[in-house]
Chain A
Amino acid sequence: MKSFDDYIDLMMNKDEAAFFEVYQQTKAGVYSVIASIIKDRQAIEDLMQETYIKMLKSLNQYQKGRSFTPWLLQIAKNLALDYYRKHQKEVVMDIQENEYLFTKNQVNENQEIDLELNEMLSSLTIDEREVVTLKIVSEMKFKDIAESLNKPLGTVLWIYNKAIKKVKNDLERRKLV
């Protein structure tokens, strides 16, 4: 199995198959990072495209041997935050609105409900969302998450466990599962 570093050289040589492989392995993580900041679906798609384009244009700055996924997700996060600052009124990070969404979806217990990721993680702080997303969606190792967030490993573990418990309690409280 190839590592991301192997794909870097291939992408530098305009190998589209290598880019597709990287895209497939990272798209859910990129999406989750952006969706934890931006709500608008079209904006999320645009920002995902922008993330991959910026990644390709910045490949020569990536230092091999470092973790690729955190580097890519940092690009996604920066772009989403820039967008958020520019379009604050259109972006939803509003707890009250999320409360409304939950209420709207709260039907009888036996009915299956399609929750959105944002709704599911609405009880979490930005830090907690980030750790949960990196661990569960991007399947990063805790030590890589700690390194990329510049936090001690023990703290990252603590944040993660606390966050999972919060989501679990929140979902149970709302009887959504």
Chain B
Amino acid sequence: MKKNEVKKLIKETALKETPEVFAKIDFKNIEIPPYENKKEIRDTRRRIPRLAWALASVLVVVGSIFTYNYFDQNKTSDIVMASTEEVLGFPIISSSTLLNEFVVENIANLSTSEYLRYGNNNTNENSEEDELLISSQNESLNRYVNMLEILIGDKTNLKYEMNENSNNTYELRYSTIDLIGNSRTYKAYINEIENNQSKVDYTGNISIDNNEYTFEMEQLKNNNAEQSKLRLYYNLENYVEFSDRTVGKKRYYDMSIYYQGVLQEQSELLLTLNKGQVSASLNVSKNGVDSEYIINKQENKIMNIDYTCTSNSITEKGNINIEAKSEQNGQYYYNYLIKSGNATINSRGKRSNK
């Protein structure tokens, strides 16, 4: 029996047993006293800790960068992720940011069209966008761009730290720098629940954009490979599966997004490290189109993608430059400059708050 079945059973039993008492409550005749003194505590109670937390995060990030540079300036490694913190942390951070994008688009009652205004800024009046295969992948690609913005680039900016609290409970902290140049910190809690000769089992949670995700992770103990499986949930029907099937120095991941219990999208991610830069190679199959993206981040300002899209016998190659730009209201979006053959398209995609 799986734990999810236990959770489902508890939930279903509670719902089934719950008696209906609404009709017995004489709402109209209940006297509800007026407010004596309305207090809204959010502003006063929460702003100060948030500010303190933000300042502390900045200090930690700056301190971490300084310390790392001081001790590791002569150290080079072509292993993209080697430490326990990285091996555990990357699947958690990446799957939660990916699922969060999906949740915002599909679950939280927000229509995609409000967010993704891909193609609205065409520089060409003939709307070449419609003729490009890449246009059919805009929604999917934008989701991965949101995810990878904080996960690739200069490796010295990508910091995974883990501290043990108590009872085999760990706090994972990931700090990074986004495309605008802002430092970002993500925090997850991890419980080690079983540790035997062949594997370690973890559970935990992470919050992003006020959405909370729980996860279960299994890490196999194998001398030849560090492999793990993770399932990260928004709820029982909406989740991401993330498998680390790395052997050797390159890191391979399989990612699957499930919406309402049905597999929506599968992708493969390969991470490589070259001259201190972490790059991604992503393969996605969607709507009958197989897409391959080679993604680099340049100086925390631009993401550059070389892509190949294949559908039936048609193959399209091109290049995309992505920058984060600001609207008049201060909201950032992704500006896509797509070049393929003679076509040049300027369009935009939603950038989440991170």
Contact = CB atoms under 8 A, between A and B. Distances in A.
Interface of A: 1, 11-12, 14, 16, 19-20, 23, 27-28, 31-32, 35, 41, 44-45, 48-49, 52-53, 56-57, 59-60, 63-66, 115-117, 120-121, 132-133, 136-137, 139, 141-143, 152-155, 157-158, 161-162, 164-165, 167-168, 171-172, 177
B33 A57 contact: yes
B9 A177 contact: yes
Contacts of B3: 164-165, 168
24 contacts: A14-B28, A31-B14, A31-B18, A32-B18, A35-B17, A53-B25, A57-B32, A60-B33, A60-B35, A63-B41, A64-B41, A65-B45, A65-B46, A115-B13, A154-B189, A157-B169, A157-B191, A157-B204, A161-B203, A164-B3, A167-B6, A171-B6, A171-B9, A177-B5
Contacts of A19: 27
Contact of A32 (B14, B165, B189): B14
A23 B18 CA distance: 12
Given A35-B17, A117-B17, A168-B6, A60 B166 contact: no
Contacts of A155: 166-167, 169
A56 B165 contact: no
A16 B27 contact: yes
B11 interface: yes
A16 B28 contact: yes
Interface residues of B, number: 52
Specify the main secondary structure of chain A where it touches its partner. helix
B21 A154 contact: no
Given A165-B3, A168-B1, A45 B40 contact: no
Contacts of A31: 14, 17-19
B1 A172 contact: yes
A117 B13 contact: yes
A16 B207 CA distance: 34
Contacts of B35: 12, 60
Given A12-B32, A158-B167, A168-B3, A49 B14 contact: no
B15 interface: yes
A134 B27 CA distance: 26
Given A48-B19, A136-B10, A142-B189, 20 more contacts: A27-B18, A44-B19, A49-B25, A52-B25, A53-B25, A56-B32, A59-B32, A64-B39, A136-B14, A137-B11, A137-B14, A143-B212, A154-B166, A154-B167, A155-B166, A155-B169, A158-B167, A161-B203, A164-B6, A171-B6
Nearest to A58: B33
B19 A157 contact: no
Contacts of B28: 14, 16
B205 interface: yes
B7 A164 contact: yes
B171 A154 contact: yes
Specify the main secondary structure of chain B where it touches its partner. mixed
Contacts of B45: 65
B169 A154 contact: yes
Nearest to B30: A56
A45 B23 CA distance: 12
A158 B38 contact: no
Given A52-B25, A64-B38, A65-B41, A11 B32 contact: yes
Given A60-B36, A177-B1, A158 B212 contact: no
B68 to A, nearest CB: 26
B215 to A, nearest CB: 11
A97 B205 CA distance: 36
Contact of A137 (B10, B42, B203): B10
A56 B34 CA distance: 11
A174 to B, nearest CB: 11
Contact of A171 (B1, B40, B46, B203): B1
A103 to B, nearest CB: 19
Contact of B205 (A28, A41, A142, A164): A142
A158 B169 contact: yes
B193 A165 contact: yes
A115 B12 CA distance: 11
Contacts of A41: 19
B24 A142 contact: no
A153 B189 contact: yes
Interface in B279-325: none
Nearest to B44: A65
B40 A64 contact: yes
A57 B34 CA distance: 9
A115 B17 CA distance: 10
Contacts of A52: 21, 25
B166 to A, nearest CB: 7
B273 to A, nearest CB: 32
A72 to B, nearest CB: 14
